[in-house]
A and B are shown apart, each in its own frame.
Chain A
Amino acid sequence: MTIDIGFKRIYETSCVVKSNMAINREYQLMVLDAPARILDCEPGQFFHLLCPSKGDLNPYFRRPMSIYGYYPDAGELHFLYKIAGEGTAALASLEPGENLNVVGPLGHGFEIRDDWQNLMVVARGVGLATLAPLALKAQQLGRKLTAICSARSPEVLMSIDHFRELGAKVIPVTDSEGTSSVQNLERLIEQQITNVGVDAFYTCGSSRILHLLQSMCARYDIPGQIALEQQMACGVGMCQCCVRSFRRNGGIVNERVCKEGPVFDLQEAIA
């Protein structure tokens, strides 16, 4: 009997933790030893992690986490995360050599169309984790990428080096230096559009940045994509808990972040 499931496979797999440590005051980097079959990923996709029970920490649901890096040759899967509550605290307690059960790769990632040569990323905080694999993909495809990386202060501004290594031009902005205001972002983006040209924008999370990009993309008629978050239970499309509303064809539609997303059209997104 051949069954047409009509889509790519998803795996539930146990991976060994290679390393898991703080990279600055706010963020942790976890590297897993992962089998090649789960590393056929797209930038913007995520995994659903079964955070361990440790001491007082007993997270029940899995926790969704963007793929920060996937390296089939090295057999590695990377996550960059911020400790937010019970689940991520339990995740941070994992020592090298321990196992972590993961489900993925999940969802639909970012798209880079053939005629998009100049790409621009605008992201803040841990959202940069979601966009890092896009920089690698852009490099592999020979596209130019400029990233405006925003954070509270230079110390917690991460991924800059990572983006630079991947050949991206990085424009860091921070709250503490007063460079991350919407007005300044608008000025920087406008410069990029007029001096170099931008074929597509990519962002995630922040509603301030979403609003800014929605108006600029409409003004200059440039397409954009956004990665969104929503609380999840199943992570694969079964339970319908992760819906968000989107503007489409003059009305409002509900879509599942885990399945139709987490990447959506920028103009359809509602903060």
Chain B
Amino acid sequence: MTNLSVTVGSLRLENPIMPASGTFSEDLAKIFDIGVLGAHVTKTITRDIRGGNPTPRVCEVRGSMLNSIGIPSKGVDYFKSEVIPFYNQYDTPLVVSISAGSADEFARLCEDVSVPGVAAIEVNISCPNIEADGKAFAMRPSTTEEVMRKLRSATDLPLWAKLSPNTGETTEVALAAEGAGADALVVANTLLSMAIDIRSRKPKLGNLMGGLSGPGLKPITLRMTYQCAKAVDIPIIGCGGISTVEDVIEYLIAGASAVQVGTATFIRPTAMVQIIRDLAAYVESQGLASVSDLTGSIRDEEASDGIVFLEAAQ
């Protein structure tokens, strides 16, 4: 078997393909052996039991989708007693995604889930921060830094910060997360969007607005991956619109060390299996010693320096 292993900081993954938070659950194990994945990433949990947003919670837009699922959560206790033991049947590293409305609450939850059986913690700082008028922590460098510092002191496990494409300060936010002790960046979450039914004139989502994901998001999160990889020294996990091995290779070339696959799994539940198979074939056909040879191999030459800080195309 072709060696596809990569490292994300101190964590070694069998291959660079893992699911994106919220688009994966134990249910997928009914369709294929999820032990083949590079890591398992859980749906974001919060401390309390929460219901989530009104329906309709999803809609399709040309070749992509919007969602306003919210974060329905069965709470931490259920998570520890049911979810962690399920995934611990596998040798695959378990990455737990968490969120909270304030930096202190976030840190407490982080400490709470730093238990045996958890390999890394992904912090969904793209969710609304109640103390900052509902603006996500990852919108600004200052709020990112504040919450990441508290999270850092709450755990010794690898800490992955999940960034938001809604910010105009991608590089600054990435640097803030790195400076505050993040071990890796997940780039990125969904982009705030909207769709209206022209016959009824009603928004297509019960929550009015929601996050864009799927192929339409890819050029944006790929751009962010490139910017982040140029700016920081910690590994980047690319995420957004990946559905084929070509998409994965593109993210790796842009600077990602590993990737997450989300929406594609809804369309093709076995998408990740196919991608892993295709990646092995690609690595072999190109005679690469390691997948990581691709990481950051973009030929951007001198053009790169000025452009990484660009936030708006003319």
Contact = CB atoms under 8 A, between A and B. Distances in A.
Interface of A: 1, 3-5, 7-12, 50, 58-62, 101, 103, 230-231, 233-241, 243-244, 254, 259
Interface residues of B, number: 39
A234 B23 contact: yes
For the residues of A in contact with B, the DSSP-based class is loop
Nearest to A10: B30
B72 A59 contact: no
Contact of B30 (A9, A59, A243): A9
Interface in B252-295: 265-270
List the 6 closest A-B pairs by CB distance, nearest first: A237-B27, A60-B60, A241-B57, A241-B58, A238-B25, A10-B30
Contact of B67 (A5, A12, A237, A241): A241
B270 A12 contact: yes
B266 A61 contact: yes
21 contacts: A3-B33, A3-B89, A9-B30, A10-B269, A60-B63, A61-B65, A62-B266, A230-B55, A233-B266, A236-B27, A236-B28, A236-B31, A237-B25, A238-B23, A238-B25, A238-B266, A240-B57, A240-B69, A241-B55, A241-B69, A244-B55
A234 B56 contact: no
Given A1-B90, A58-B62, A240-B52, A10 B265 contact: no
A8 B31 CA distance: 9
B29 interface: yes
Contacts of B58: 61, 231, 233, 239, 241
B30 A12 contact: no
B308 to A, nearest CB: 32
Contacts of A254: 51-52, 72
Contacts of B63: 58, 60
A56 B51 CA distance: 38
